[in-house]
Amino acid sequence: MAIGLGRGFRLGAAYEGGYSRTGVIGLYNEQTSLEVSGVELFAGYWLKFDLVVFYLRGGWGNYGYLQTVQSPVARNYPVEARAQTVVAAAGINVYLLDRLFLCGEIKYVPLKVKPYETEVDLGGWRYLVGIGYGIRF
């Protein structure tokens, strides 16, 4: 969600969620699950060419993760952590109708968390492809 400030500049907020994985971990191949989500506040510049809009945005993100290991030793003890970091993204919107558009975005998030004594790197590139509907106020 973004609010236009005029001349292509916008301020906004976003939610990133949906990352969830299960697998095995450790010497004893114990079952584990990992979920990552976060909220972002950003400022950016949108440049419109007829039915195509390019944009660059940057801001601040507050991300958290939850990992659970099914182990007799860990006793299903969840590991939770949160961290704040900067966010940078570039994207494109291609309008199909007046307000309906296809979108694509590439974003970099340098995210490291340290729930205990070991630091975990959850950062990297995020890719988004979707469809959107613009609402005018």
What size, in residues, is the chain? 137
Question: By residue range, what is the domain housing residue 98?
Answer: 2-133
What CATH number is associated with residue 16?
Answer: 2.40.160
126: closest CA among 82, 83, 89? 89
Annotate 7-22 with b (16+ C-beta within 10 A) or e (fewer).
eeebeeebebeeeeee
The verdict on pTM exceeding 0.75 is yes
Average pLDDT over residues 28-36: 85
Provide the domain count of the chain: 1
Q: What is the pLDDT of residues 81-119, one digit of tens each?
A: 889 999 999 999 999 998 899 999 999 999 888 777 778
